[in-house]
Structure 1
């Protein structure tokens, strides 16, 4: 018994003498150039340049008004992107539209920093099949919701990435405007698809998926709108994404869902910019009008 009592303080002393403090240097993401450019097929190329900083709430990064942006198409210099103001914010715009299959690289020279750059290609438009909209009774017995069905035709043997959004077209009339003005409202929805990743927890505005579960097949996706409406005219927006644009948009989407939840693992937003932060990503967007 005495031996045990004497050994315990010795073991405790050995334990604390072996204790080592390790310092981990976490990367500092503030004060870096940020280049954001999502290029869409058949659209002008427009970029924005800011400098990262510690922000809170809805603060935005300080913008850069003196940057020089060079655009390259398939490795050949094409043009400088010219600055312009939109809603008091500075953007940089080209004069030619992005072409499917082409690879674009943007190099931004920001005073006081190393040049930052990123590149990506413009994908072909996604192939779609049958689309339909039906009215279904709301569970609470008030009004009707829309059940929108969308079929994608996935190309076999390659990795493909998609985003789907829904809009309702509503024509409003009054005593003055007897003809009526048509408005486009973004529609939130729920889905039970395994590819969703949120498993029908809440209504969302965007649906992202890759073809890991349906390579080369024609899956049908069903979306139940989060609110009631007449849904006489619905626009289905189908976007084909590259790996980079998908990774950035989907990680940003998941970050909004999870990063404010203390019980969820923190989501890191995808970045493909050399010497900085942000995204240069390609996409091809097409809208389809469907009616009941």
Structure 2
């Protein structure tokens, strides 16, 4: 019986193998196109980076950068500047965009189809009021020789008020930065005790969390009505044309002392909002085999990439 059973299993395996069919699929090869990436705003001179697209199965790490393109910028239909190549795919100009204007960028390079994109830089929506209250949060435990002590981080609960312009769809992004002062011991070769301390000051991007309705009503609701990430994206759909106060928490530093909290409110073009929204969704879904594929927004005609405008207001909070 055992021999007969083993023979039956072998026969079944051979049958399955003999039914295997190899199918060759010819994937269409798209032509190489220009890729243009750049964000413009009134506080900075114009800069964009240009490269070439690559085949979807090309696993090389670096894109081919383009340094011989002709790049022209138009403001409200009139040419205002031709960007200069700086190498490594970068093109710059001393021209600074104006809030309330529309812009078109055109780029061409030898052997590739010319590309074009348009966007707008909306007027600044200012931060009308802002408060930041500190709160301690336990983040873990530190143990030495069986002596365990809790580790705390100081977070900041922020309320940001704005007045939304009427009769238009508006798109916003909030980011926070912290200025941190930290010290590190300095040792010499003859002592285990520090001989002094080096003090450094650095600025870092803060992590944000929020359960505010304008944030949790978007695709970024992660199950408990809260959002977390390096920036908050939202629209004026709930408060169009009215004042609104956004509530969120800026997480503190795990080392050093925070001396300043910088809150930035960006008024985005629709292009930049759609790009950032789809980019965040794609990053969130990465590695989930059951998640829907999210293509990142592209507004480059005949090419790929993003060319978008924004304006920004900021408030600096000095921390005692």
TM-score range, shorter chain: 0.7 to 0.9
Report the equivalent of 1:17.
none
CA contact (8 A) 2:102 2:121 kept: yes
C-alpha offsets along residues 226-271 of structure 1, whole Å, 9 cap, x if unaligned?
4556544200011110111111122112211123322221111111
SS at match of 2:287: coil
Larger radius of gyration: 2
Q: 1:198 aligned to 2:220?
A: yes
CA contact (8 A) 1:127 1:154 kept: no
CA distance 1:57–1:28, change in 2 (3 Å): closer
Residue 56 (structure 1) shift: 7.3
Residue 75 of structure 1 is aligned with which of 74, 77, 83? 77
Residue 157 of structure 2 is aligned with which of 139, 143, 147? 147
How many corresponding residue pairs?
265
Report the equivalent of 1:189.
208
SS at match of 2:122: coil
Report the equivalent of 2:67.
65
SS at match of 1:248: helix
Q: 1:213 aligned to 2:223?
A: no
Aligned ranges 1:154-173 → 2 under 5 Å: 154-172=164-182
CA contact (8 A) 2:133 2:156 kept: yes
C-alpha offsets along residues 260-290 of structure 1, whole Å, 9 cap, x if unaligned?
3222211111111111111121101232102
SS at match of 1:251: helix
CA contact (8 A) 2:181 2:259 kept: no
RMSD, aligned CA: 2.8
Distance 1:162 1:260 in 2: 28
Report the equivalent of 1:16.
none
Residue 313 of structure 2 is aligned with which of 274, 286, 289? 286
Residue 248 of structure 1 is aligned with which of 257, 275, 284? 275
C-alpha offsets along residues 184-224 of structure 1, whole Å, 9 cap, x if unaligned?
11110211123323236563101001100111222222222
Distance 1:202 1:242 in 2: 22
Residue 90 (structure 1) shift: 2.3
Report the equivalent of 2:192.
none
CA contact (8 A) 1:74 1:103 kept: yes
Distance 2:317 2:118 in 1: 35
Distance 2:169 2:285 in 1: 26
CA contact (8 A) 1:146 1:228 kept: no
Report the equivalent of 2:45.
44
